[in-house]
Amino acid sequence: MSREVFEPGPGKLDNAGSIRVNLRAVLTAIATNPGGSAADVARATGLSGSTAFRLVAELSRRGLVLEGARIRGKRGQPGVSLSMNPEGAYSAGCQMGFGNCHLLVRSLGGRVLAEKEFSIERCSYKHVSCAVAKAYESVLAEIGDDQVKPIGLGIAVPADFDRLCQVVMGVHDAPWSEVAFRKQLERLLDVPISTYSTGSAGAWAELANTPPPRPADYLYLFVDRFIQSGLLLDGRLWVPPFGGHGSLGRTIISEAKAKLYDLVGGQAWMEEASNGGISQAEVTERWARKAARALAIAIQGVSDTLDLPLIVLDGTLPPDLMDTLAEHLAVELPPICWASAPQVRRGSAGIHSPAKGAALRPLYTEFFADEHG
């Protein structure tokens, strides 16, 4: 049950909750300032020296923190340099597609241990959960290390997955249920499962892949078979309530008499190609012009309402298609934006950004910040 905005919450955290919060704060301080001592951690977090030392010892015991050489040249007893153990924990991420899927296992420090492409033939929750479980077990067997036990498996699921799958794979009688899918997968794998929208997972990967100073607000667009979107506000993912995903693709573009899903993505490009053209370059130009116009119309309301400064565009389509779309979008936005038009930037996390983001989120919420928005 969720409480009302102005209803008071718990008066204080219990002891276990307080320890979890402090452990996350200490690990964050060490990860962002490697080489410091426990005393430096205490100053950065505002914890007492004894509490900081005790929490550092606990993180070391769990294998999340490494102790290095003594730090000399400072007043008092020399401290030990501390750093986050990049191999201290592992997680897995899976990117669901409309036929093609991608799964990977990564370490806390970002090293990808193994990855696997696999396919699905229909989008019933039973079929998809079995396909994901098989790929997950195959990847762990490939790694072959009993010490590598992911703390969780994050799944990036496209918004409106069921409806869009029917466009690609045809009408099916087996139902899709994300809740049932998650529960079935947990039974098959005995690992915590989290689901995120493809756009949100990609937006999170993009944020992690961007060097400081990172942008705090942007609309992330992932152009796959169909367009997906994610929104970052004040450095946090915006997540719809009640387990929904939300999607810019649902926007109806009145002048085209179609949804954005129908106008932006690989499916729309294939339909444009079926209309014929002198060359692939001509087809791409024609597709990009229509797609950019539709995107600009959909983006304008969101951008002007939230004063978004940035649009990040990534996806699985070939680079020439993505570059042409970005160029056209940068031209289409300024004339229709009431406020300053947002900058359009190509993404840096790549075609598997949703898988990367889905793998990163369980690590982030477990060890750095317990937040879901």
* CATH classification at residue 63: 1.10.10.10
Q: 47 and 76: one domain?
A: yes
Distance separating alpha carbons of residues 155 and 354, to the nearest angstrom: 8
105-128 per-position pLDDT tens digit:
999 999 999 999 999 998 889 999
Q: 219 and 342: one domain?
A: yes
Q: 336 and 359: one domain?
A: no
Q: 237 and 222: one domain?
A: yes
Distance separating alpha carbons of residues 14 and 318, to the nearest angstrom: 52
Q: Is the distance from CB of 203 to CB of 308 less than 8 angstroms?
A: no
Percent of the chain with pLDDT over 70: 92
- Is there a domain that residue 206 lies in? no
290-303 per-position pLDDT tens digit:
999 999 999 999 99
Q: Is the distance from CB of 359 to CB of 102 less than 8 angstroms?
A: no
- Is there a domain that residue 275 lies in? yes
Residue 13 has pLDDT above 60, yes or no: no
pLDDT at residue 227 in the model: 98
Q: 185 and 237: one domain?
A: no
Q: 311 and 235: one domain?
A: yes
Contacts of 323 (CB under 8 A, 6+ apart): 346
Count of domains forming the chain: 3
pLDDT at residue 19 in the model: 87
Domain enclosing residue 217, as ranges: 213-347
- Is there a domain that residue 208 lies in? no
79-108 per-position pLDDT tens digit:
789 999 999 999 999 999 999 999 999 999
Which has more pLDDT, 161 or 148? 161
Q: 223 and 187: one domain?
A: no
Q: 112 and 136: one domain?
A: yes
Q: 182 and 249: one domain?
A: no
- Is there a domain that residue 107 lies in? yes
Among 46, 65, 84, identify where a domain stops: 84
Which residue's entry shows tokens 């075609």? Answer: 351
Distance separating alpha carbons of residues 28 and 231, to the nearest angstrom: 24
Q: What is the mean predicted confidence (pLDDT) over 332-339?
A: 95
Q: What is the pTM of this model?
A: 0.91
Confidence of residue 372 (pLDDT cuts 50, 70, 90): very low
Neighbour-count burial for 121-160, b at 16+ CB within 10 Å, e otherwise: ebbbbebbbebbbebbeebbeeeeeeebebbbbbbbbbbb
Q: Is the distance from CB of 248 to CB of 299 less than 8 angstroms?
A: yes
Confidence of residue 10 (pLDDT cuts 50, 70, 90): very low
Distance separating alpha carbons of residues 309 and 138, to the nearest angstrom: 42
Bridge-based pairing state of the strands 236-237 and 227-233: antiparallel
